[in-house]
Amino acid sequence: MKRLLVITLIFSGLINLSAQDDVLLNFKSLAKKYAKSEENVLHEKKGIDSKTWFDRGKLLQDIYQIDLEYISEGSSTTEINIHYKDPLSVVKDEENPNTEILKYERIEYVMVNGVLSKWNRIKSVTDSPLDKALVSYVKTLEFDEKNKYNEKVKAQLAELKINYKQSGINYYYSDDYKHALHSFEKVLAINRMKLFDGELDTVMIQYSGIIARELKDYEKSAEYYMQLAEMNYGGPNIFLNIKNDYLALQDSAGAIAGMEIGFDKFPDTLNIVANLVDLYIKTKNIDKGLVKINEAIAKYPEKGDLNYWKGRLLLNTEDEDRIDQALVAYEKAIELNQDLYYVYYDIGFIYFLQGQDIFSQAGMEKDVEYRKEINDIATEKYDSAIPMMENALRLNTDNAEIKKETLDVLKRIYYKLYGAEDDRYIDVIEKLKEF
């Protein structure tokens, strides 16, 4: 994913927080102030003075803002030229004709179709000014025994969060996911500070999860998505992300635990229960799955689909009568809910496979009378499959893949029982042409 979703909704309004009157920050002046600040923090007395550290934090935010005072997502070439005058040069991107780079002494603005896409910092008073500003405000609070600076620091930290968000988005647009994640995580770290009383920023948590995944840090990604899940944010899909992250870590137990939480929260979501049951089957946790599904059936006895998933699990046990057990569960499912096309399909498919196997056995039987008896049993299986498959076809309005498979099974059954001239067989052949 090349662009974070809804980015413009949050950041298109980012404006300069330091300069409000169209006056550019002076690089040389800030460099001198920073050099003095470096001396002050090492001074015996000034180095333990809250004011020293508070002023340093504000200074460092100004240093970050140099050449970004009037920059926001969507700034045009004309606007940049008005505020920062003409660039030293304009470089066209040969591979991307709609892209040009406005080169200045300390920064490059990358424009796409005349609109700012990102920037590249060439020269700064100091590296990592935002991180140093955060340290400065933490130091301010540390030395402020009488809490005189609490409100001032909180206001500056609120601005610092916006700085980090802006920086993080720029890093992301520059494909520097490591620093993008670092910026967003700093926002979350500030929110955890006592001044913000554990303020929650679900968008930052979500973006951090997305970027952590792109960095293949699946453990961290799962942690962020779990935080969202605990806040009931993001709906059922959050749990699918958690599952995928744990599977990427080869932690099937973690994937199952996450999906079980999702199932408890969203028992009506087909994608959740389907993925959970699939996990139970693939990891050979059938007994664990049956316990979970039986608990759900006891809690929601009216839900026919739960019996269907119980049937799917039963089919994967080692019991000799597992097919009969599964069919009992399937029959219960359609007794409670007659609209579950996939239950009819599974029942029909079981009968079809049984009939197919019995017909094969009959073909190897030399005794004519016994072969006829076997064929009669196989025919009964096919006869039982037909109404199930026809119901599946009638009720299925959204799953083209299953619909095609249903028609294919009916084609085989109709041909075997009635021949190629039968109207039912011809009708199915015509419908299959649509696929």
Average pLDDT, the chain: 92
> Is residue 428 classed as helix, strand or coil in its secondary structure?
helix
- Tokens 């955060």 found at: 134
pLDDT of 5 strictly over 80: no
As a whole number, mean pLDDT of residues 177-189 equals 97
**How is residue 91 annotated by DSSP?**
E
* pLDDT tens digits along 264-275: 999 989 899 999
Q: Is the dihedral of CA 203, 270, 398, 407 positive or negative?
A: positive
Hey, which bits of 199-341 come out as E strands?
none
pLDDT of 279 strictly over 50: yes
As a whole number, mean pLDDT of residues 63-70 equals 95
pLDDT of 434 strictly over 60: yes
154: closest CA among 189, 184, 193? Answer: 193
Residue 22: per-residue pLDDT = 61
Higher pLDDT, 4 or 375: 375
- pLDDT grade, residue 367 (50/70/90)? confident
pLDDT of 402 strictly over 80: yes
C-alpha distance from residue 72 to each of 67, 115, 163, 388 (Å): 11, 10, 11, 61
User: For the chain, what is the total number of helices (H) and then of strands (E)?
Assistant: 19, 4
Contact 370/387 with Cβ under 8 angstroms? no
Residue 4: per-residue pLDDT = 52
**How is residue 128 annotated by DSSP?**
-
Domain boundaries, the chain: 74-123, 341-432
Backbone torsion region of residue 298, taken as left when φ is above 0, otherwise alpha when ψ lies between -120 and 50, otherwise beta: alpha
Residue 17: per-residue pLDDT = 46
53: closest CA among 153, 161, 178? Answer: 153
Residue-wise DSSP of 11-66? HTT---SS--SS----HHHHHHHHHHHHHHHHSTTGGG-HHHHHHHHHHHHHHHHT
* pLDDT tens digits along 15-29: 444 444 568 999 999
As a whole number, mean pLDDT of residues 306-319 equals 96
318: closest CA among 355, 340, 287, 339? Answer: 287
pLDDT of 9 strictly over 50: no
As a whole number, mean pLDDT of residues 125-135 equals 97
